[in-house]
Amino acid sequence: MQFVFFNWGYMVRQCFLGLIACVLTLSGSSLVASADPSPAPAPTNTPATTASDPCGDTNLLATTDRPTFGTNPCVVKVDDVIAEFGYRNTTTVSNGVNSELASYPANRTRIGFAQHLELVLDLPTDLRSNTLGSRVTGDSGIGTGLKYEFGYFGNFVQGIAGEAVYPTGSTAFSNGLPAFNGSYQIGGGIIPNVGFNLTLGFNSFSSVNPAGGKNVGTTAFQPTFILGGLVAPQTKLNVEVANISSQGPGTSGQYFGNVFLQHQVSSFFLLDVEAAQRFTVTNGSHQHYVGAGASIRL
């Protein structure tokens, strides 16, 4: 199947402007009584402390990291564990040829082991690519990191995160070199039922020098911005814009847009679906993906 693209950038921009208007309109008309962008936290034994905590104790809408480019500033509470996983199918169209990349289970396990601090474990993800019937399979590397929540002021939360990614993945999907990423995050409610999340991130990695000698290092900056609002008491619609300044030596930046819906089924289970588009046309190629996943509080 061949896709025909015309005025794509204009069409996508108009679509995202419409979605932002939709988030604001639907959230404004929602019957949710809470003034925060997420359901109010459940009462605990320390109401004086948690009553003003925007992250709450059982609010997965406020705590889960997926399925965004950025990172949520809310951390997992002490002695709690959240397991996040999902499936994504990425399509790249270049010169009329479709390339598909499927990835799953994309498991991120987050463990709260100290006040305002969590341990992050990114386990290997199965990767399967298909281009004109040529199939390649493998897996990604393992990542370990920490995320620290500075605390909250009013409806706003801020934090920092850092992660090392080890070259344990298949050679078909890895250059065999480690990488490190980090970020600062801030998020919270701006008007009743509507909130934002800003992540200022970077990814530092190395690439093999084809001429031999020392590997070539790259530090890519990755800012992301999310606007989200409740469209039902336990359902949140989000629009995200992200930038990756470089994919490696000699490459330019890329812009992405992501629309995702999250629904908290219970205090222990959340479902999400997403659709994303790469705004930047790279070497004549266009790219988009769709996915779905879940978060479970163990």
Domain boundaries, the chain: 8-297
- Using CA atoms, how far residue 259 sits from 69, 105, 130, 256, 274, in Å, is 11, 20, 25, 10, 6
pLDDT at residue 17, rounded to an integer: 54
Tens-digit pLDDT string for the chain (298 aa) = 333 333 444 444 555 555 555 555 555 544 333 334 443 333 333 333 444 788 988 899 999 999 999 999 999 999 999 999 999 999 999 988 999 999 999 999 999 999 999 999 999 999 999 999 899 999 999 999 999 999 888 889 999 999 999 999 998 888 789 999 999 999 999 999 999 999 999 999 988 877 777 888 999 999 999 999 999 999 999 999 999 999 888 888 999 999 999 999 999 999 999 999 999 998 889 999 999 999 999 9
- Using CA atoms, how far residue 98 sits from 3, 91, 162, in Å, is 9, 7, 35
> Residues 261, 236: contact at Cβ < 8 Å?
yes
Q: Quick one: tokens of 178?
A: 């480690």
Its CATH architecture, for the domain 8-297, is Beta Barrel (2.40)
As a whole number of angstroms, the distance between CA 166 and CA 176 comes to: 8
Chain center to CA of 166: 20
> Residues 155, 189: contact at Cβ < 8 Å?
yes
pLDDT at residue 15, rounded to an integer: 52
Nearest by Cα to 25 from 264, 193, 188: 193
Identify the burial level of 250 via C-beta atoms within 10 angstroms of its C-beta, where 0-12 means exposed, 13-18 middle and 19 or more buried. exposed
- Report the DSSP beta bridge partners of residue 102: 89, 128
Question: Which residue type is seen at 262?
Answer: Q
As a whole number of angstroms, the distance between CA 197 and CA 153 comes to: 15
* Torsion over CA: 207, 90, 8, 227 (sign): negative
Rg (CA), the chain: 20
Q: Quick one: tokens of 123?
A: 């386990």
- Using CA atoms, how far residue 262 sits from 43, 63, 110, 178, in Å, is 23, 12, 18, 32
pLDDT at residue 19, rounded to an integer: 55
3-state secondary structure of 22: helix
| DSSP track, 114-167 | ETTEEEEEE---EEEEEETTEEEEEE---EEEEEEEEEEETTEEEEEEEEEE-S
pLDDT at residue 20, rounded to an integer: 54
pLDDT at residue 214, rounded to an integer: 83
> Residues 164, 195: contact at Cβ < 8 Å?
no
> Residues 1, 96: contact at Cβ < 8 Å?
no
Terminal Cα distance for the chain, rounded:
43
- Report the DSSP beta bridge partners of residue 94: 97, 285
